[in-house]
Amino acid sequence: MFSRKHLLLLNPWAYDFTACDFWLRPLGLLYLAAIVRQYTDYELDFIDCLDSSQIESGYYFRPKNRTDGRSSFFKEEVTKPEIFRHIPRKYSRYGWPYAQVESRLEKIPAPAAVLITCTLTYWYPGVQAAVELVRKKFGNIPIILGGVYATLCPEHAQSQSGADLILTGPGENQILRILQEIDGKDQFKSKNELPVFPDFDSLPSPAYELSHNTSVLALLTSRGCPFHCSYCASRLLYQRFEQRQPEKVAAEIEYFRQNLGTEQIAFYDDALLINKNHHLIKILEALTDSKEKWRFHTPNGLHPREFDRELARWLKISGFDSLFLSLETSDINLLAETGAKVSPEDLERALGYLEGAGFCRSQISVYLLVGLPGQDKQQVVESIRFVRALGARPRLAYFSPVPGTADWKKLVDSGQLKEDSDPLLQNKLVFPYFWSQFTPEDLDEIKKEATGKNIG
Ligand code: SF4
């Protein structure tokens, strides 16, 4: 008799010094889930350890929830990795309590395979812990690891994660073949050739139906970025920049509203404003036509250079709430060195348009990078003062050395990092303790400057 086998989709914990739910959703895993659901008969079990809305009663957890969907995580302190022993901060496992994941695994049938992801390279201890737990419960079943860590650090993932198979890059044209190889064709709806997804727009919508937390969703209207910033991993994750058709994006968002009660969307695009008149504005036009009230967020910084009066007006009338703009630094030499995607004047102009459209400048956060190779404390302090003088809010973004980027290479060439350094050193909070010219005291002073508790 035909029986449906199970697949387990697992978004593991984050192991870090600090973490919060900044509209984090395992979008890649949910895309793969949608493909598997469409082309096979597998029953899908989904465990999202980073879904704070699913912490069971009985654990002491009072989440700091904001109405915009951001939230704190439950955390359990764990032993710090040896490499961090001299850092005077606690290290924790963020996400579901360990015992809750254990008991959840007790309740699901043994899967034919496990698909696991990992959002940040230096969160790989969460993968290791999850793989260990899965093996304890289900024995030697195939575990497939994809996502950012697997793509950027495939050798480390192969030797250290405990997963059997490392899936690098976008997984849509790989996952069905892998499942066939490990489990045969029995669960496939068709014995014909496997489908090919030629571009991002050909994918089915991410399977948010599997998620419990659907009032606020993260989405991508595009993949990749046309720029080449020296510190950024975008091109390593997606080799080309591709935008979806605006009508399809709007229809998908409407579908989520009608079927999952979604009211807020965080756009996680790297380059949301490129081609704006034919892309974002078209999406917003379609959504405002439906007369539903939306709240939108842009956790990845928007490009100030792309702003004009019309765009600012659309952002205001369509429900953009927490705006994040990218400047990175006001130092023009450093801007030129790192990619020249923006200038301080672009930011000034963008803020003017946004204010003209009815935004309050103090609502607008401006990302400033801290810890870039060659950057010094004074450059950061001056950038903070520049943003503050414009009436916006400086928001510090700590530099993480991503393997394969130009800045990574700079650090390796200068001997500050090794080619095979532990991905834990990519943690954005540890640079003052290892390889940067910033000391921990410098960083404290910079934070005070950014929060207005000035160093004078
Ligand atoms: S503009 Fe942003 S996403 Fe694009 S390469 Fe630069 S940092 Fe990366």
Q: Of 329, 350, 347, nearest to 338 (Cα)?
A: 329
Which ligand 1 atom is at minimum distance from the Cα of 270? 3
Residue 413 tokens read as 């060439």
The rounded Å distance from CA 227 to ligand 1 centre is 6
- Segment holding 157, helix H or strand E: helix 154-160
Q: Of 211, 202, 148, 141, nearest to 172 (Cα)?
A: 202
The rounded Å distance from CA 225 to ligand 1 centre is 6
Strand partners, 326: 367
Residue closest via CA to ligand 1's atom 3 equals 270
What CA–CA distance (Å, rounded) separates 373 from 411? 7
The rounded Å distance from CA 425 to ligand 1 centre is 21
Do residues 40 and 2 touch, judged by C-beta distance below 8 A?
no
Ligand 1 pocket: which of 152, 220, 222, 232 to mutate (most atoms <8 Å of CB)? 232
Mean pLDDT (10-residue bins), the chain, 456 residues: 85 96 94 98 97 88 78 94 96 97 96 97 98 97 97 98 97 97 93 93 97 94 96 94 98 96 96 98 91 90 97 96 92 91 96 97 95 91 97 95 94 92 94 87 93 65
> Which residues, judged by CB distance below 6 Å to any ligand atom, belong to the binding site of ligand 1?
225, 227-229, 232, 234, 270-271, 339, 341
Q: Of 25, 41, 24, 44, nearest to 33 (Cα)?
A: 44
The rounded Å distance from CA 167 to ligand 1 centre is 24
Ligand 1 pocket: which of 148, 236, 238, 270 to mutate (most atoms <8 Å of CB)? 270
CATH code: domain 6-183 is 3.40.50.280
The rounded Å distance from CA 198 to ligand 1 centre is 24
pLDDT of residue 430: 93
Residue closest via CA to ligand 1's atom 2 equals 270
The rounded Å distance from CA 37 to ligand 1 centre is 33
DSSP-assigned letter for residue 8: E
Residue closest via CA to ligand 1's atom 8 equals 232
The rounded Å distance from CA 337 to ligand 1 centre is 14
Specify the amino acid at residue 214: T
**Per residue in 92-121, pLDDT tens?**
999 999 999 999 999 999 999 999 999 999
**Per residue in 341-383, pLDDT tens?**
899 999 999 999 999 999 999 989 999 999 998 898 999 999 9
Residue intervals of the chain classified under CATH 3.40.50.280 are: 6-183
For residue 403, what are the contacts with CB-CB under 8 A and spacing of at least 6? 121, 152, 153, 423, 426
**Per residue in 180-231, pLDDT tens?**
999 999 999 988 899 999 999 999 999 999 999 899 999 999 999 999 999 9
Query: What pTM did the predictor assign?
Result: 0.95
CB atoms within 10 A of CB 78: 15
The answer regarding whether domain 214-451 maps to CATH 3.40.30.10 reads no
Which ligand 1 atom is at minimum distance from the Cα of 232? 8
Helix (H, G, I), strand (E, B) or coil at 16: strand
